[in-house]
Structure 1
Amino acid sequence: MSLDAQAAFEAAVAPYRRELLVHCYRMLGSPHDAEDLLQETLLRAWRAADRYDASRSSLRTWLYRIATNACLNALQSARSRPLPSGVGEVFTDPDADFVPGTEVPWLVPLPADPEAGAVERSRLRIALVAALQLLPARQRAVLLLREALELPAAEVAAALDMSTAAVNSALQRARTRLAEEGVDPEGQAEPPAQQRAVVDRYVAAFERADVAAIVAMLADDVVMEMPPMWNWYRGRADYGGFMERVFRTRGTSWQTKPVWANGEAAFLCRRDGEPHSMQVATTSGDLITRLTVHADPAVFALFA
């Protein structure tokens, strides 16, 4: 194709780049893999541009089909990226030894602008993305195509080379599994300002090493996990016990910096000035319902 044609193609696909990246991320659970698959999607689309038929589907739908199939191909040789609370047994002793899980490709959070639309932020909630990783790849693809594009089952079937009955069955199984995980795919993320206000209060208590104030901000069934460790805890008592352990064994000299991840308020955490973790908080009202502590230095670097 000519340079003019290439420029026209790039201008046509530009409005869909961000949402395609989010789609690939939700399929794969890794920002780096999502970026690679976005580039592969656009390359495939460019090579097939002369065969695109606008009378058969919109450009957006066509691009999503290419992206989804590229992700499915990638997932044939790659493992899903869960979080510890989705695949491991809960720990009940806050003083238990840390159990490294470096053999698992854990979910990596996606840097996300708080100014992103409410729909994007809701679809990027870390609990939802983590739950999606527990679904078989085709169930994941069916759910996302039906959710993001609201495509009829017949069109999803054509895009994924499945029967319509198989698509409907996969969709029902996917929704059932998410319900079992306590995740509502239609749930809405808290407004950014409200999230940040809650997390700022949590961070202030954390920097004071005030365990009582931290516990007062937690939901009864709060989850705290820390990939790449298998250790994870549920409930205010064990969460508080773990925080007492942290301050007892790691000291109280902590510094934080606010960031945003997966459409949720987060913060970088340093201990005595040295990088420690990137922590993502999920809020509901004035309470923390989940804290995901990413202790992998590569995740800290991604956000720093």
Structure 2
Amino acid sequence: MTLATDDDVFTAAVEPLRGELTAHCYRMLGSVHDAEDLVQETYIRAWRSYGKFEGRSSLRTWMYKIATNVCLTALDGRARRPMPTGLGQPAADPRGALESRPEVTWLEPLPDSVVWGGRPDDPEAATLDREGVRLAFVAALQHLTPPQRAAVVLFDVLGMQASEVAELLDTSVAAVNSSLQRARAHLAKLDPEEERASARTLDDARKRSLLAQYVDAFERYDIPRIVALLSADAVWEMPPFTGWYAGAEAIGDLIRSNCPAEQAGDQILVETSANGGPAFALYMRDPSDGVHRAFQLQVPTVGVDGVTHVSVFFDPGLFARFGLPEELPAEHRARAEALLATGGGSCSQ
């Protein structure tokens, strides 16, 4: 018989918290890479202090206190991670030149597999968790001060009491309530409730149908159809490019002016999941050798009037983090060949 070691006891107690702690650090930092590093630092600190844990709070609360302090330390003096819409500039000319700023530490999408490792067992709880990692919400959080982020996440997302939040942040309940009031007012402007409510009224079948049509339109390079599937006031942004684009027609012009695709089959979308919802990895065909390679990752938001927002990440390095290969997976190549065989006609006009 093998006796459990201190390592075994510690691991069994805290390992089930890894996914939610990663989500917590991601909300605070806006980066999955940073979040995973800080969760590891959290576990190291927790292990060193585990013998002193007296159980006056729950183990989960104790771990969140360590993780929050790790995040606040990491954020000290660090610039926030923006999206192009958060830079304070007006919508860009879709036919103008693109400005890329790869040196900016942009907000990153969160692979669902990092948090849940697959489908959660409890759909109701999963809905709450997924709501708390929506890309728009995390982007809005980046506009708050680090202590405000912590207060909002601990109170509004995790459902802790104001007294618990105050203890975790080493402050008073009055200070927590004041911070929450200011932070909520700011978030309401950046992530309006009416937009979220509109999206929630859309049933899953309709959402799946819209996204299937959206994928088909991209793969057929049918720009008029893409435009028709967007809401009239849709927004498109694509870090590391600084511009953002407002309106379905403007987005259509942007694609016509800048997309390297020329015909059906040039781009193939592979479904994945990010920030609690559907996402698509786009593979672009290289005309020099005909191979489809990692090009961009799209995170769309769907509302009652169509696709309302698309966040496009031009960072092929994200593909590996999402468990996706650099080249189009073999099971999707037949679809690309079939589309290319249609004659290669473009529907971009």
TM-score by length of 1: 0.91
- Shift of the alpha carbon at 1:187? 4.9
| Contact 2:237–2:311 (8 Å) recurs in 1 | yes
- Shift of the alpha carbon at 1:7? 0.6
1:101 aligned counterpart, secondary structure: coil
Q: Is 1:294 aligned with 2:313?
A: yes
Task: Give the aligned partner of residue 19 of structure 2.
Answer: 18
Task: Give the aligned partner of residue 227 of structure 1.
Answer: 239
More off after superposition, 152-161 vs 164-173? 152-161
Letter in 2 for 1:120: D
Task: Give the aligned partner of residue 280 of structure 2.
Answer: 267
| Contact 1:178–1:185 (8 Å) recurs in 2 | no
Q: Is 1:115 aligned with 2:134?
A: no
1:259–1:112: structure 2 CA closer, same or farther, 3 Å change rule? same
Task: Give the aligned partner of residue 276 of structure 1.
Answer: 295
Task: Give the aligned partner of residue 163 of structure 1.
Answer: 172
Matched residues in 1 for 2:256 and 2:244: separation?
15
Task: Give the aligned partner of residue 211 of structure 2.
Answer: 199
Letter in 2 for 1:19: E
Residue ranges of structure 2 left out of the alignment (5+ in a row): 121-125, 286-291, 325-349
- Shift of the alpha carbon at 1:278? 0.8
Cα distance per residue 1:104-156 (max 9 Å; x no partner) = 10011111147241122111111111111111111000000102332222321
Matched residues in 1 for 2:282 and 2:158: separation?
37
Residue ranges of structure 1 left out of the alignment (5+ in a row): none
- Shift of the alpha carbon at 1:193? 6.3
2:38 aligned counterpart, secondary structure: helix
Matched residues in 2 for 1:49 and 1:186: separation?
44
5 Å matches for 1:107-256?
107-113=107-113, 115-116=119-120, 117-184=126-193, 187=196, 195-247=207-259, 250-252=261-263, 253-256=266-269
| Contact 2:132–2:157 (8 Å) recurs in 1 | no
More off after superposition, 61-70 vs 110-119? 110-119
Report percent identity of matched pairs.
44
Larger radius of gyration: 2
Aligned-residue Cα RMSD (Å) equals 2.3
Number of corresponding residues: 301
1:61–1:192: structure 2 CA closer, same or farther, 3 Å change rule? farther
1:18–1:237: structure 2 CA closer, same or farther, 3 Å change rule? same
Q: Is 1:57 aligned with 2:42?
A: no
- Shift of the alpha carbon at 1:302? 2.4
Matched residues in 1 for 2:231 and 2:21: separation?
34
More off after superposition, 18-27 vs 161-170? 161-170
1:226–1:100: structure 2 CA closer, same or farther, 3 Å change rule? same
1:48 aligned counterpart, secondary structure: helix
Matched residues in 2 for 1:17 and 1:138: separation?
22
Task: Give the aligned partner of residue 34 of structure 1.
Answer: 35
More off after superposition, 233-242 vs 69-78? 233-242
